[in-house]
Amino acid sequence: MAAMLKFLRLRGAPVFGEEFGVAVGPLKQSNFFFGPNGSGKTTISRAFVDPSRFAGTTLEWSQPSYPLGVKVYNRDYVDATLTPAGQLPGVFILGEANAEIQAEIESLTGPNGSIAAAQKALAGLQSSLDAKNRDITDARAALKDAAWAKREDVPAELREMFKGYNNNKDRFLDRLLETATTADSAAEEFTALAQEAAAIFVADAQPLAELSLGRDIRIEDAPGFPLLGVAVVGSGDVQLAPLIEQLGNADWVQHGRDYLEDSAGLCPFCQQTSPPDLGAQLEAYFDRNYAGQMEQLAAFRERFESWAQDWATYLDDLPAKPGALGYLDADRWASARGALEKAIDNARAQVDGKLSAPSTLLSIPDLSPHVAAVNAVVREANAAIKGFNNLLKNRSAAKKSFIDRCWVAFARSTLATDLAGYEAVMPGHEEGKRSIEGKVETAEADVRGKESRLRELQAKVTSSRPVIDRINRLLKSVGFESFSLAESAEVENGYTLVRSDGEIATETLSEGERTFIAFLYYYQSLQGSPQDDTESHDLLAVVDDPISSLDSEVLYSVSTLIRKIVEDIPAGLGRVRQLLLFTHNVHFHKNVTYEAHRGPKLGSRQYGIVRKQIGQHSVIELCDQNPINTAYGWLWEEVKRAAKQPSTSAVGLQNVLRRILETYFKVIGDVDEPVIVGKFEGSDRVICRSLFAWANDGSHAIFDALEYSPTSSTADANLRVFRRIFEELDHGGHYRMMMGESAAEGPEQGSAGALA
């Protein structure tokens, strides 16, 4: 046997205005529940739709691992399943999913729909993006024009750097911006680059010879250099030596010797008659050693002068060498040369002084630092010349790097101001563009998503034609001919009614038609295959009051379809494995529970009555035999129950009493209601008038509309007035018969068995 629901335990705080605490079960294959309006049937059906809405509610299955899928028909299902299509009267959408889909499609595609709004937002963002792109284009154009004009500021020998860009301003600008991205400052000037241009750009350029270095002047290595620091004087063995040494005038005496031969016997120093041996003594004083030292000093002076002349020639000739022009730093060369020439002149003067005054002690400064300074400038020039020669050897490989360096100088030197202005505004423009592009991308995705959703919804809309065919076959199978369904000409996959005379109904659907059509849609959804992968094949069908304000033809049709489900369950036909039916209509209850014969063909079934108690939870009484025999008999059973237990039957009692009066006295006829009401006084008169007023309201008016809260005391009062009405009309015997009272309990009057 397939899985079935064994128990529904419904508990919880007030939901939908009703507080419940009811247990339903154990259940069988077909379960029929009868209860008046307000007893809680709809609340029970709602618990099957979403048990979580009722705290503590549980469903207990006979096979917990294999629960049935639950499909519920109630007022909520009717409202969700059958909805009007826009503002078109008589046109409707069937199916909860279809109605939701149609509403969402309209929200997407309407004049003020979300797709139009998303497209409008996207258009606004695209307009902002266009404006930002114009800002960027204008900034690029300004820099491009400035750079294009300043090509003339580049030295002529370097303009080959623009080769390949002179005929395309945009490529020219791209090259400039590429350079600016990789170099944020100028490392070189065009004047320095121009020296290399000959090796890079001049096709017939020849290697340059390196400049020679100046020879160092090593004074300390020259003969006679030690005498510079020694006093060169005569011999100390001569008589005049002590005096000369005392006076320190040897150089003066040496110069005076030249005048002795021409002094005519007089001393050239004191003008006195000179001693006869004065010449011999001076000759002895300035002996051969002295003469040798003087010769060494003279040789030193000659060697030094030779060096000085060589340097003078070197310093004059070097700037004219082929490699010196452009590679020799003129300023540094002039400074180093001047310092060296000044040092040479100073040394020369000191050497000349030594020869004039040999006894003088000298210390000539070292000239090597000045020589090194001059050679340092030459070495730097030679390094540049080597670089030039290397460029010649590797011209093709060096050209790209050289051109890149030229572009850096052009960007960061020639265009420094223009490029700085461009770089100041562009980050803001580009950041703004990126921000807007991100928003545009999001907006485009939003539009695509909504359009994709629209296509998805349109693909999901269930075609009306198969549903129409199935429902019309159902109508035909039960002999219903008042109307049939047809496709709407105004709304795709919409429905409309075709009356029995062939006319298309354009008025709004009546309540009965809505209920009937929704039930037909529910019934056909129980047939065939599951609608999607999430739906179970085997179903529990819960049906709450499928007939409301329906005529006999509709009631018969719905009853026939329900009985078909009841018969299919034990036979294993279709998808329904268990049925729970709730109704307040006795006639409908009798129709669906009718048994032409008993046996396994009808399967296991049971019956229940739903009762609402004052101040307490509803109760459900289950039994194997149908407790509802006739509508009239059932009404009197409720009166009997109320008479015995007023607190358990007060809810709906007034409606039961009203329906008995309406049914019985319509049969008897000739009832003068004002006369009957006049026989009562006080509160009893109010109750009597109310009972007859309800009787004239229609078969479905209930006490709820009167904002009347019944209690056990009001139940007693209503029962008292109800009995007296029968007695005042001389039908007390009928009352006692229906209540099961003996004749001794009251005078027998009237026709007791009129409706028994």
Which contacts qualify for 122-127: CB closer than 8 Å, 24 or more apart? 122/440, 122/443, 122/444, 122/446, 122/447, 125/436, 125/439, 125/440, 125/443, 126/440
Please choose, from the candidates 697, 742, 699, 747, the residue with its C-alpha nearest in 3D space to the C-alpha of residue 726: 747
What is the predicted pLDDT for the residue at 588? 83
Structure tokens at 414: 């020639």
pLDDT in tens, 711-736: 556 778 888 998 998 888 888 888 88
Q: Which of 40-49, 277-286, 316-325 has the lowest mean pLDDT?
A: 277-286
Distance CA(591)–CA(253), nearest Å, equals 170
Mean pLDDT taken over the chain: 75
pLDDT in tens, 337-362: 899 888 888 888 877 777 667 766 77
What is the predicted pLDDT for the residue at 237? 45
What is the predicted pLDDT for the residue at 238? 46
Q: What angle do CA 121, 122, 126 make, to 5 degrees?
A: 120
Q: Which of 118-132, 174-188, 242-256, 377-391 has the lowest mean pLDDT?
A: 242-256
Residues of the chain with CATH 3.40.50: 5-95+462-623
DSSP-derived secondary structure letter, 237: T
The band of 582, judged by pLDDT with boundaries at 50, 70 and 90, is: very high
pLDDT (average), residues 269-297: 60
pLDDT, greater one: 266 or 620:
620
What is the predicted pLDDT for the residue at 701? 39
pLDDT (average), residues 364-369: 80
pLDDT, greater one: 99 or 224:
224
Contact 231, 245 (CB under 8 A): no
Q: Is the pLDDT of residue 170 over 50?
A: yes
pTM summary value: 0.45
Q: Which of 122-136, 310-324, 462-476, 568-582 has the lowest mean pLDDT?
A: 462-476
Structure tokens at 326: 């452009």
**Count of C-beta atoms within a 10 Å radius of residue 549:** 15
What is the predicted pLDDT for the residue at 16? 40
Q: Is the pLDDT of residue 573 over 80?
A: yes
Peptide bond into 26 cis (omega under 30): yes
Contact 461, 98 (CB under 8 A): yes
The band of 97, judged by pLDDT with boundaries at 50, 70 and 90, is: low
The band of 749, judged by pLDDT with boundaries at 50, 70 and 90, is: very low
What is the predicted pLDDT for the residue at 705? 33
Q: What is the dihedral of CA 142, 145, 150, 156, to 10 degrees?
A: 150
What is the predicted pLDDT for the residue at 243? 45
Q: Is the pLDDT of residue 601 over 70?
A: no
The burial class, CB within 10 Å (0-12 / 13-18 / 19+), for 18 is middle
**Count of C-beta atoms within a 10 Å radius of residue 57:** 19
Q: Would you call 610 helix, strand, or coil by DSSP? A: strand
Q: Exposure pattern of 406-416 as b/e (b: 16+ CB <10 Å)?
A: bbbbbbbbbbe
pLDDT, greater one: 359 or 382:
382
Distance CA(346)–CA(603), nearest Å, equals 140
All residues at 6 or more sequence positions from 192 whose CB lies less than 8 Å from its CB, including other chains:
none
Q: Residue 63: how many CA atoms within 13 Å on its side-chain side?
A: 10
All residues at 6 or more sequence positions from 357 whose CB lies less than 8 Å from its CB, including other chains:
251
What is the predicted pLDDT for the residue at 287? 46
pLDDT in tens, 17-27: 455 567 777 88
pLDDT (average), residues 546-555: 70
Q: Which of 74-78, 506-510, 555-559, 560-564 has the lowest mean pLDDT?
A: 506-510
pLDDT, greater one: 436 or 4:
436
Give φ, ψ of 145 to 5 degrees. Answer: -65, -40
Q: Which of 267-271, 433-437, 464-468 has the lowest mean pLDDT?
A: 267-271
Query: At 407, which amino acid appears?
Result: W
**C-alpha distances in Å from residue 579, one per residue of 38, 385, 583, 635:** 22, 107, 13, 26
What is the predicted pLDDT for the residue at 31? 93
pLDDT (average), residues 88-99: 58
Q: Is the pLDDT of residue 239 over 70?
A: no
Q: Would you call 23 helix, strand, or coil by DSSP? A: strand
pLDDT, greater one: 278 or 109:
109
What is the predicted pLDDT for the residue at 133? 93
What is the predicted pLDDT for the residue at 398? 65
What is the predicted pLDDT for the residue at 128? 93
Question: β-strand 18-24 against 69-73: which pairing, if any?
Answer: unpaired
The burial class, CB within 10 Å (0-12 / 13-18 / 19+), for 540 is buried
pLDDT, greater one: 283 or 109:
109
What is the predicted pLDDT for the residue at 456? 66
Question: β-strand 539-544 against 576-583: which pairing, if any?
Answer: parallel
Q: Is the pLDDT of residue 285 over 50?
A: no
CA 613 to chain centroid, in Å, comes to 56
Q: Is the pLDDT of residue 544 over 60?
A: yes
Q: Would you call 702 helix, strand, or coil by DSSP? A: coil
What is the predicted pLDDT for the residue at 73? 92
What is the predicted pLDDT for the residue at 126? 92
pLDDT in tens, 395-423: 666 667 777 888 888 888 888 888 889 88
Q: Is the pLDDT of residue 207 over 50?
A: yes
Radius of gyration of the chain (CA): 64
pLDDT, greater one: 233 or 504:
504
Farthest CA pair distance, the chain: 210
Q: Would you call 70 helix, strand, or coil by DSSP? A: strand
Distance CA(420)–CA(444), nearest Å, equals 36
Residues constituting the chain: 756
Q: Is the pLDDT of residue 616 over 80?
A: no
Q: Is the pLDDT of residue 280 over 70?
A: no
What is the predicted pLDDT for the residue at 529? 63
Give φ, ψ of 508 to 5 degrees. Answer: -65, 145
**What is the 3 state secondary structure string of 73-89?**
ECHHHHHHHEEECCCCC
Q: Would you call 288 helix, strand, or coil by DSSP? A: helix
Topology of the domain covering 5-95+462-623: Rossmann fold (3.40.50)
DSSP-derived secondary structure letter, 163: T
Q: Is the pLDDT of residue 551 over 60?
A: yes
Q: Is the pLDDT of residue 597 over 60?
A: no
